[in-house]
Amino acid sequence: MGSKSILFLALLLVAAGAGAHTRIYTFVDADGVKHFTDMPDDNRYRLLVLSPQDRTESGERYDRKLLARAAQYDSIIDRAAVAAAVEPNLLRAVIVVESGFNSRAVSRRGAVGLMQLLPATASRFGVSNLYDPQENIHAGASYLKFLMERFGHDVRLVLAAYNAGEEAVARNGGTVPPFAETMAYVPKVLKVYRMLSDGPRSPSLTLTARLAN
């Protein structure tokens, strides 16, 4: 899974809620990019301590940045969703968790871009530039469509395959593989998917409304 952006931090805080005990970790890489996660997989991560006041200020301070980062890809996501016949908010949810709308994100495993595509997957779906948002999103949408068809439109299995690989799901008897990362990843994406789908019509407004509460 890719690096976590400020957007994912905000969604983690929303999911945690007041008084919850979710631990969030952060570090700043050599390029000055800030990473957030609730499942640290790098020894550079350090615990982020937020008071209730910090939570409020964080939501207000980053609201416009989050909205701008998410909104700039709305039209590409909508077109890719139509072309691949997949839910646009499922695409958005995958992007939130994979890269936090950071088109330059690169994972330790070499997954790249908004939808954190591995080079082999990108080549399979005709991507020449993994960092290009349009190519990356369209290929990611096509891959999700392929997984939907392979796994009978079971979204849980589709997400598990997106994270762990389709053969890992097949080897596990067509169920979510018992990998810690995958078992955390699937409900995380589903939670964001529900947040986006249950809110106002505009996905960007949905994120803003959720972060403001």
Whether 186 contacts 160, CB under 8 Å: yes
Q: Which residue is catalytic, options 57, 98, 135, 166?
A: 98
Q: Report which of 120, 69, 62 is spatially closest to residue 92, judged by C-alpha positions.
A: 69
Active site residue 98: yes
Degrees, nearest 5: CA angle 7-13-19: 175
List Cβ neighbours of 57 (8 Å cut-off, separation of 6 or more): none
**Distance of alpha carbon 208 from alpha carbon 59, whole angstroms:** 9
Residue 46: φ, ψ to 5°: -130, 150
Category of 25 on φ-ψ map: left (φ > 0), alpha (ψ -120 to 50) or beta: beta
CA angle 195–199–204, rounded 5-degree value: 85
Residues tagged active-site: 98
